[in-house]
């Protein structure tokens, strides 16, 4: 199974300041078709998950451009350029390259 490791566990951020979350996979997420199926999800308190980023760096419809994804192979990063109050929640990376599908343990973003 591909293990997804996220850091940090928690990220206290000042409003308007940037935040960065790292996700490392135990093996390459490059699919045989050449795509890398790494997504970032946001889960606000009491809400279901919501897709922010798919295939490493593609923003899903309606996602603000302050969210960006980058990386390749086994190392990936989600950045929030300027944190807003509505960004509070838990962020997960998820790989869908290989079964079983697996998630990172989550990073809690909170306001200082």
Strands 10-13 and 107-111: parallel
Residue 50 CA to residue 64 CA, distance in Å, equals: 13
Q: Interface with other proteins includes 39 (CB under 8 A)?
A: yes
What 8-state DSSP symbol labels residue 85?
A: G
Determine, following the binding rule CB under 8 A, whether residue 105 of this chain makes contact with other proteins: yes
Specify the residue, 51 or 88, whose C-beta has the smaller distance to other proteins: 51
Which of 3, 72, 101, 111 forms a contact with other proteins (CB under 8 A)? 101
Q: Candidates 10-18, 21-29, 67-75, 97-105: pick the segment binding other proteins (CB under 8 A).
A: 97-105
Encoded one letter per residue, x for contact with other proteins by CB under 8 A and - for no contact, window 59-78 reads: -x------------------
Dist. CA 110–CA 28, nearest whole Å: 30
Q: Answer yes or no whether residue 35 interacts with other proteins by CB under 8 A.
A: yes
Q: Using the rule CB under 8 A, which residue among 24, 55, 59, 66 binds other proteins?
A: 55
Helix (H) or strand (E) holding 109: strand 107-111
* Cα–Cα distance for residue pair 51/104, rounded to 1 Å: 14
Look up residue 50 and give its two tokens.
Answer: 């919501």
Please tell me whether residue 24 binds other proteins under the rule CB under 8 A.
no
């Amino acid at each position: 199974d591909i293990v997804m490791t996220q850091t940090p566990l928690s990220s206290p951020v000042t409003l308007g300041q940037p935040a960065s979350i790292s996700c490392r996979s135990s093996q390459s997420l490059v699919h045989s078709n050449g795509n890398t199926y790494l997504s970032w999800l946001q889960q606000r308190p009491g809400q279901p998950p919501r897709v922010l980023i798919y295939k490493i760096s593609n923003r899903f419809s309606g996602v603000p451009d302050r969210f960006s994804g980058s990386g390749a192979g086994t190392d990936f990063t989600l950045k929030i350029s300027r944190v807003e109050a509505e960004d509070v929640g838990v962020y997960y990376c998820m790989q869908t390259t290989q079964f079983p599908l697996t998630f990172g343990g989550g990073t809690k973003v909170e306001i200082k």
